[in-house]
Amino acid sequence: MADFRTYYDALAKPSWTPAPATIGLIWTLLYPLIAVAAIATVAKVWRGELTRWALLPLVLNLMANAAFTPIEFWARNLPLATADIFVVLVTIVAWMALVWRPGSTWIALVLAPYLIWVSTATVLQVSITLANR
């Protein structure tokens, strides 16, 4: 872990970059919301209340989200991490759009903090990538 931290600390970052502990806290708060939204989406698809297409952005989102840390910190590939976070961002929007139906709108609202954070994190990632070319 220290090697990852040394790597991250050495990167040029914008002055508004949150502390690593703050980023960790944000994700600690978001993961339960993501889990609730994912479980609810799967349940509603299972019951026929949502189209099966709602599962596609959910699955792609979880895969891209899980891939970010290994890409960013193990592979140390900033451009690929930037592409990955754009996938995370786009799949959140698609997921929210596909669950925005009567009786399921609350799922999209549960995802709103995730969208806000990933939008911010995307701008941060692009800034870091550009500053470390």
Residue 1 CB coordination number (10 Å):
6
* Residue 1 pLDDT class (50, 70, 90 cuts): low
Asked if residue 5 has pLDDT above 90, the reply is no
pLDDT tens by residue, 99-117? 999 999 999 999 999 999 9
Question: How much is the pTM?
Answer: 0.95
Q: Is the dihedral of CA 1, 75, 20, 109 positive or negative?
A: negative
Q: Is the dihedral of CA 70, 72, 74, 79 positive or negative?
A: positive
Mean predicted confidence (pLDDT) in 77-90: 98
Asked whether the beta carbons of 44 and 54 are under 8 A apart, the reply is yes
pLDDT of residue 25: 97
Which structure tokens are listed for 25? Answer: 């806290």
Q: What is the DSSP letter of 16?
A: T
Tally the C-alpha atoms within 13 A of residue 6's C-alpha that lie toward its C-beta.
Answer: 3
Asked whether the beta carbons of 132 and 10 are under 8 A apart, the reply is no
pLDDT tens by residue, 21-63? 999 999 999 999 999 999 999 999 999 999 999 999 999 999 9
Asked whether the beta carbons of 92 and 114 are under 8 A apart, the reply is yes
